[in-house]
Amino acid sequence: MKHLLQIAVGLSLLVSLPVLALGNAEVGQGKAAICAACHGPDGNSVVPNWPKLAGQHADYIERHVVLIKSGERAVPEMTGIVMALSDQDIADIAAYYSSQATAAGLADEALVATGERLYRAGIAEKDVPACMSCHGPAGEGNPLAGYPSLAGQHSVYSEKMLSGFRAGTMWGDDDANSKIMTDVANRLTDDEIKAVASYIQGLHSAE
C-alpha cells in the first residue's frame, strides 16, 4: 500500500494542469442557469445520477467541462450544452458553483463501518490506499493536486464513477489522476464500492 501511495503522489506532481481562465462567481450565477435543470440552481442536484457541484474546486469543475467539450470525457447529455460555452463562460460558472455550500448528505448506517474503514484506512491486503490520503479526512479534496472534493456527493453518482474507473474509464490516455483511480477501483468489489460511496455521501467537509 505504501508503494502505491508513493506512486500516486509522484504521478500527481507530474500532472501538467492547463492554464485556466480566472472566473467571476457573480457573473457565473447568471450563466449557470443553463446548468440548473440537472445540477440545481446552487449546484446541489436533487437527482442522484447528476453530481453535486456546490463547493467543488473551481479548477476541477473547469477542467472537466473542458474535457467534456474536447471529447476526452464522454458525457453525452452535456456535450451539446458545453459546446456553446466559451472558456470564460466555463470559468465563471465554475467559480459560481465553487462558491456555493454543499448540502449535507446521509450515509446508510448499515454501510458506515465498512465505508469508513475503506475511506480512512484502505485495504492493506489488497494494496488499496485510504481514500482520505488524496481526498482529505473530511472529503475536502486537494485542489493543487487536482483531487476533487467528495464530501456529501450522491452515493449513486460516486458508485457510478468508481464502477466506471474499475472498467477502465480515463480522461485521456495520459491523465495521471484518472489512472490512479482506475488502478485503485480495480481492486474494489461491488460491495466495497457501495459502502465507500455511501460513506462519502455522509461526509461533511470542514470547508
Query: Quick one: which of 124, 99, 103 has its CA closest to 26?
Result: 99
* 126 pLDDT more than 50: yes
More confident residue, 6 or 123: 123
Q: Which CATH class for the 104-201 domain? A: mainly alpha
What pLDDT sits at residue 173?
76
* 2 pLDDT more than 60: no
End-to-end CA separation in angstroms for the chain: 28
SS3 state at 144: coil
Work out the mean pLDDT of the chain and round it to a whole number.
90
Confidence band of 177 (pLDDT split at 50, 70, 90): confident
- Mean pLDDT lowest for which of 18-22, 76-80, 90-94? 18-22
More confident residue, 123 or 2: 123
User: How far apart are alpha carbons 160 and 155 in whole angstroms?
Assistant: 8
User: How far apart are alpha carbons 109 and 95 in whole angstroms?
Assistant: 34
What pLDDT sits at residue 17?
47
Asked whether the domain spanning 104-201 has the same topology as the one spanning 18-98, the reply is: yes
Q: Which CATH class for the 18-98 domain? A: mainly alpha
CB contact set of 194 (below 8 Å; sequence gap of 6+): 111, 155, 159
Half-sphere exposure of 188 (CA within 13 A, CB side): 31
Sequence spans of domains, the chain: 18-98, 104-201
What pLDDT sits at residue 8?
47
Neighbour count for residue 96 (Cβ, 10 Å): 26
Query: Quick one: which of 46, 163, 154, 56 has its CA closest to 107?
Result: 154
Confidence band of 182 (pLDDT split at 50, 70, 90): very high
pLDDT in tens, 31-65: 999 999 999 999 999 999 999 999 999 999 999 99
SS3 of the chain: helix, strand, coil, percent, to 5: 55, 0, 45
